[in-house]
Amino acid sequence: MNRREFVAVPAAALAGSMFAAAPEIPWQRKIRRVGQLNMTEHDPVALDVEAWAEYWASLKVDAVLVSVTGILAFYQTKVPFHRKGKYLGNRDFFGECCAAAKKRGLHVIARMSPDLNWADAVAAHPEWFQRDAEGRTMALGEDPRLFRTCMFTTYMTDYMPAIMREVNSLYDIDGLFTNAWPPLGHLPVCYCNECRRLPASGSLPYWEKFNERTVYLWKLYDAIAKEKKPANFYFANLGGGIRSSANLVQLGELCEWFQCDNQGRGGEGSPIWGCALQGRVCNAVQKGKMATNVTGAWSTGPIRWRNVDKSIPEARMWMNETVASGMAPYHHIIGGETGMGEDRRSLEPAREFFLWTAKHDPQFTNKRSIASIGVVMGQRTHLFYRPPGDVSMPDSMNGLYYALLEGRFLFDFVHEEKLGAEDLRKYTALVLPNIALLSDGQCEQLRAFVRAGGSLLATFETSLYTERNEPRADFGLADVFGIRRAGAVVGTNGNAYSARLERRHPILDGFTDTNIIAGAEYRVPVQSSSAPVLTVVPGFVAYPPELAYPEPSHTNEPAAVIREAGSSRLVYFPGDVERTMWRAGHTDLSRLLQNSIRWISHGRQPVTVEGDGFVELFAWETEAGFAVHVLNYTNPAAHRGLIRKFYPIGPQKVAFELPTGRRVSRVTLLRAGVDVPFQVAGRTVRLVIPRVTDYEVAALYSA
């Protein structure tokens, strides 16, 4: 615009163009804390509505989830087959709870469950319900009065929308939420008339139909939510970590609120970092949007007590992990009379934690993760690939995760559908923990990453299957690693193979006074033109001991293939080393993985934390500057059983490389509540965290 044109523009138009307001941030992206009291059928005669609303307000939560629900109605519904609880009477219990929350300035999300209904609904609408292979309706194991509904039927397009619209018409709500759908960690198996028209359950074609239906229903429910007011929205139970059933990238584009129903440790032997792992999944697919993790006050695990609180240190660590990994904390209690009357142990610790986070909201408002290592998350592999033997896919991720924590690496998860140049631009190295299913296009994206100077580490059957779970004759990334498949997978018969040290290399640092180290339980025989660093010593019988020796004791089969191409460093392990490490716990395998990750990343990280103890690290750019989170997992219950007490660790030396042009004016330890001295040399800020009990955050204030 020249001067003449500038003068001719009307003043109002000029003001509108020059001083236009910045786009309004959706309210759900401002959420910092969430509360939920999951109503029981008995609560209408036992729960003190005002006392509970006051409790949530005292925690400075921004939103509460209030039960509608789809199994039992907590209001005077007129929707057929929406059964009222037997203690409801003429009371509008949901309405009272909603009004009490609104009076205190809290957003209200209407919670409902579309997964179950009663026998009278089965009699009237048999087409709504899941069927087994013999055509029988599928009752809930714990309560055979309830039957499982099918997401491919009109139950989801007629019945649930009727409830949603009724609630919209009656109450001042801010959103709609469905519990127990989509299913977490597994795909449904159903033989109803609708599902018999679909591909076989558990197959890739079925998964595509499942995702198509999920997206359709999500959009339908979101449109219904917006009938109330444009700012309203719909969201659903997600979570499931790396084993999520729905396509996370598709839903990450759709959903404004990623609700992780990851309330505590589940099965036996579940590691303490399960919540932090979930946060990494959220960051991989939900960047810039809201992600919450539900922490159950109740006793989660293989044996459950819904009415008894879990140990306070266990719940606290779960909340620590929630905020450290970038999610908003979410306190969940089952039953009003239990939570405030019978077992009250979780009330004050949750209040203390929530008030502490409220005091430091700018330091917990993250802009981006600071990590230069990416771990590829293969959702298709975790859903459809079946590794050899009686093994579990999460073992691979748990083994790698453990090694990453022992090595004190900063890392992000990278979803397999986000391997484009822009997605990978921040990473110097990627790790592929047996990502068996990769498309030709994804293999080409990884080649491009290497051509641009990036480094890769891969294990076992990575790229031996297409994205359709079809086996390839050779690795899709054979040319990248310089390998060729030389046979079928070899397992263990008694004594697993070991690996012979052939020549010195940084990935073998620390291995002294030995010619061999532990190998993996399974391996793919490969050939390579690279001079081997490790070779396979074949497995042999473990018993009787008279026969427990290798024959031959030396081979040319590589147990690791190492290459360099310009600045790219490439490591391939033919064995399932990370899964074996998790199952066996052998320190050789953890050291080998740590050394290899350190080598491919050129030994450089933007943030390092040195000290004793077993910790998990996160580093973020925040609204206030930067933050380094240290989670102290040094505990005999880190892998099994609930944490009973914390074991403090001593000084942790932090080195933080600042982005160009940034300066630090102050460093505060948020848990300790004290400022600490720091030194700056060039772009590196150095400081010491004197002590970490369970969790500490070093907040670097920066302009």
Residues 108 and 240 in one domain: yes
Residue 138 within any structural domain of the chain: no
For residue 339, the model assigns a pLDDT of 65
Residues 388 and 504 in one domain: yes
Q: Taking residues 222-239, report their average pLDDT.
A: 94
Q: Reply yes or no on whether the pLDDT at 579 is more than 70.
A: yes
Residues 587 and 439 in one domain: yes
For residue 351, the model assigns a pLDDT of 96
Q: Which domain holds residue 652?
A: 609-702
Residues 562 and 511 in one domain: yes
Residues 650 and 591 in one domain: no
Boundary residue ending a domain (549, 574, 600): 600
Find out whether 606 and 370 touch, Cβ atoms under 8 Å: yes
Find out whether 53 and 61 touch, Cβ atoms under 8 Å: no
d(CA 411, CA 243): 19
Residue 305 within any structural domain of the chain: yes
Q: What is the CATH number for 413?
A: 3.40.50.880
Find out whether 571 and 596 touch, Cβ atoms under 8 Å: yes
Residue 6 within any structural domain of the chain: no
Residues 663 and 698 in one domain: yes
Residues 344 and 460 in one domain: no
pLDDT digits (tens, 9 = 90+) for 109-126: 999 999 999 999 999 999
d(CA 94, CA 685): 52
In this prediction, what percent of the chain has a pLDDT beyond 70? 95
Boundary residue ending a domain (566, 600, 634): 600
Phi, psi values for residue 653, rounded to 5°: -90, 120
Q: Taking residues 413-423, report their average pLDDT.
A: 96
Q: Reply yes or no on whether the pLDDT at 19 is more than 60.
A: no
Residues 523 and 647 in one domain: no
Find out whether 61 and 107 touch, Cβ atoms under 8 Å: no
Q: Taking residues 642-651, report their average pLDDT.
A: 94
Find out whether 460 and 574 touch, Cβ atoms under 8 Å: yes
Residues 325 and 418 in one domain: no
Lowest mean pLDDT among 299-308, 405-414, 579-588: 299-308
Q: Reply yes or no on whether the pLDDT at 639 is more than 90.
A: no
- How many structural domains does the chain have? 3
Q: Taking residues 473-484, report their average pLDDT.
A: 97
For residue 93, the model assigns a pLDDT of 96
Q: Reply yes or no on whether the pLDDT at 328 is more than 90.
A: yes
pLDDT digits (tens, 9 = 90+) for 163-218: 999 999 999 999 999 998 888 878 999 999 999 999 998 899 999 999 999 999 99
Residue 492 within any structural domain of the chain: yes
Residue 126 within any structural domain of the chain: no
Residue 382 within any structural domain of the chain: yes
Find out whether 558 and 503 touch, Cβ atoms under 8 Å: no
Greatest Cα pair distance in the chain? 99
Residues 206 and 311 in one domain: yes
Residue 387 within any structural domain of the chain: yes
Boundary residue ending a domain (302, 333, 359): 359
Q: Reply yes or no on whether the pLDDT at 565 is more than 60.
A: yes
d(CA 430, CA 411): 9
d(CA 136, CA 132): 5
For residue 338, the model assigns a pLDDT of 66
In a 13 Å sphere around the CA of 187, the CA atoms on its Cβ side amount to 24
Q: Reply yes or no on whether the pLDDT at 398 is more than 80.
A: yes
Q: Which two tokens stand for residue 289?
A: 């949007």
Q: Reply yes or no on whether the pLDDT at 6 is more than 50.
A: no
Q: What is the pTM of this model?
A: 0.94
DSSP letter string, 87-150 = TTTT--HHHHHHHHHHHTT-EEEEEE--SEEEHHHHHH-GGGB-B-TTS-B-B-SS-TTEEEB-
Q: Reply yes or no on whether the pLDDT at 7 is more than 70.
A: no
Element (H, E) at 50: helix 49-58
Residues 622 and 586 in one domain: no
Confidence class for position 288, pLDDT limits 50, 70, 90: confident
* 46 to 40, 91, 312: CA distances (angstroms): 10, 13, 25
Q: What is the CATH number for 645?
A: 2.60.40.1180
Residue 536 within any structural domain of the chain: yes
Q: Quote the DSSP letter at residue 287.
A: T
Residues 353 and 381 in one domain: no
Confidence class for position 392, pLDDT limits 50, 70, 90: low
Q: Taking residues 75-89, report their average pLDDT.
A: 95
Q: What is the CATH number for 254?
A: 3.20.20.80
Q: Taking residues 558-586, report their average pLDDT.
A: 96
* 336 to 55, 57, 63, 96: CA distances (angstroms): 11, 16, 17, 14
